[in-house]
A = this chain, B = another copy of it.
Amino acid sequence: MLDATRSWTTTLDHHVGHRSDHPTDHHVGHRTDHRRDGLADDPMDGPVAQDDPDDPVDDRTGQRTVAETAARRPASRYGNRPTMKDVAARAGVGLKTVSRVVNGEPGVTPDTERRVQEAIEALGFRRNDSARVLRKGRTASIGLVLEDLADPFYGPLSRAVEEVARAHGALLINGSSAEDPDREQELVLALCARRVDGLVIIPAADDHRYLEPEIAAGVATVFVDRPAGKIDADAVLSDSFGGARDGVAHLIAHGHRRIGFIGDQPRIHTAIERLRGYRAAMEDAEIPVDEAWVSLGLTDPERVRAAAEEMLAGPDPVTAIFAGNNRVTVTVVRVLAALDRPVALVGFDDIELADLLDPGVTVVAQDAAQLGRTAAERLFRQLDGASGAPERVELPTRLIQRGSGELPPAG
């Protein structure tokens, strides 16, 4: 009757322990008010910094109120899920045996395994991965920081990263920087505190030295779409320079000489590169660039509209426009649609329904999904121990002719 002895001791142990206040096993989901002490808004003072000045508990006095005493056994208040210990007690086996069953490790009799499984089922046990992480050191999750998930360019990119992560058994945590360097840093560091195994970053900032300690500590890091600033790190980029040069050359080939360029803020690497491509194409064709044709800045519709209208007005208007990204392209399409004369347009980034417009929008397409996939794969290669100097990978772009880029100059 060793079995009896065993379950006896464990049961005893169990009752002496902290959970003695549960006479019945099945506490059904009646949801009590789980208002814990200060936290209401912010349990882990994560991204939002704060000092709770209204902390209701003041234990300097040393006196113990009823409320305090109740709060003292947090384990029985909120979300106290059954643990392996509970499962073990119910199944009448040891803790480690439960662990073995849960993880499918060998060395458990079918009979024992069945008993454990039953207990798991009955209690609704689910392994706490936080604890597992703490023990194992890897979280099996990666972070993705991008500009704005709502942007049609980043959706597919994020999805591609997710698929690769999934193939490696990892989850994806993502955050939007809203193109704000401070917010980017805040997000990245919050992710590091969660101990993500790796980071895929579409940077908004241009100084990433804040990442150095993290990288030194082993956080794999890959930058996408734009390179890192002031540190050396892997980067997966589209060939912005080449793509823009080709796009502009395409316009030139169709007879244009006065070509406008509307791009993103000069702080952003791709904006610079694309402008550089524009200038290169113009120079190749020996066309001097009138600086009135060039406009960098925010990509909100108002600014872009103003910029476009300005270069389309006057005695010597541009006859073609190169749009620096998808948001710019959309706005320029609208402006041109309201115009009484045809103006050629080539946009960077493909946009949905571009083929159904009249004329169809000619674009320099980059493959967002491929960008994400490549970056994620590099990340996991880093995690698999591949070391070596950081590299910069550049993916080619593709010119898709749909009509708007093939219009001849007006007149």
Contacts and interface: CB of A to CB of B under 8 A. Distances in A.
Interface of A: 28-29, 31-37, 39-51, 74-76, 78-81, 103-106, 124, 126-134, 136-141, 148-152, 154-156, 158-159, 162, 166-176, 189-195, 197-198, 212-219, 330, 333-334, 337, 351-354, 356-358, 369, 380, 383-385, 387
Given A43-B169, A175-B162, A352-B352, A137 B78 contact: yes
Contacts of A133: 44, 130
Summarize A's interface: helix, strand, loop or mixed: loop
A351 to B, nearest CB: 7
Contacts of A218: 31, 34, 78-81
Give the number of copies in the complex.
2
A193 B129 contact: yes
A140 B44 contact: yes
A164 to B, nearest CB: 11
28 contacts: A29-B215, A33-B385, A33-B387, A34-B218, A35-B104, A40-B384, A41-B384, A42-B140, A44-B132, A44-B138, A44-B169, A46-B140, A46-B168, A48-B384, A75-B216, A76-B216, A78-B138, A79-B137, A126-B193, A149-B149, A150-B158, A152-B155, A162-B174, A173-B173, A330-B353, A333-B356, A353-B353, A358-B358
Contacts of A78: 137-138, 217-218
Given A33-B106, A35-B104, A150-B155, 9 more contacts: A31-B218, A32-B105, A39-B138, A79-B195, A81-B217, A124-B214, A124-B217, A131-B134, A334-B356
Contacts of A34: 104-105, 218, 385
A138 B168 contact: no
Contacts of A40: 384
Contact of A352 (B136, B170, B351): B351
A44 B384 contact: no
Task: Name which of A50, A138, A214 has the most chain B CB atoms within 10 A of its CB.
Answer: A138
Contacts of A162: 149, 174-176
B172 A47 contact: no
Contacts of A128: 134, 193, 195
A247 to B, nearest CB: 20
A27 B67 CA distance: 47
A44 B136 contact: yes
Contact of A43 (B136, B176, B216, B357): B136
Nearest to A352: B352
Contacts of A168: 41-42, 46-47
A155 to B, nearest CB: 4
B171 A173 contact: yes
A68 to B, nearest CB: 17
Contacts of A75: 213, 216-217
A151 B155 CA distance: 7
Contact of A47 (B76, B138, B194): B138
Nearest to A336: B356
Nearest to A42: B169
Nearest to A125: B213
B140 A47 contact: yes
A130 B33 CA distance: 24
A176 B46 CA distance: 25
A78 B171 CA distance: 20
Contacts of A46: 140, 168-171
A23 B362 CA distance: 62
